[in-house]
Amino acid sequence: MKLEQAFGSVLRKKRLEKNYTQEALAHSCKVDRTFIGLLERSKRQPTITTIFKLCKALDVKPSEIFIEIESMVDL
């Protein structure tokens, strides 16, 4: 999988695991709902600040997200 796609797919997976809708996740991170969709479809890349906000809302560590991404892409 391409790197740009990996973050979006891990974000989506974590969101669904927590039974969040895109709206609910966007609300808890104080970002626009469409931004979550753009991230999940890899149309946007998040800054580190956004990564930490998303991870706080999803109760997962950013390092865990990156461990999953590393397992999905050829480093």
The total of other beta-carbon atoms located within 10 Å of residue 10's CB is: 20
Count other Cβ atoms within 10 Å, centred on residue 15: 20
Closest separation in Å from C-beta 17 to a copy of itself: 19
Least distance from a copy of itself to the Cβ atom of residue 49, Å = 6
To a copy of itself, the closest distance from the beta carbon of 35 in angstroms equals 15
C-alpha–C-alpha distance, residues 46 and 48, integer Å:
6
Q: List residues near a copy of itself by CB under 8 A.
A: 3-4, 7, 45-49, 52, 56, 61-67, 69-70, 73, 75
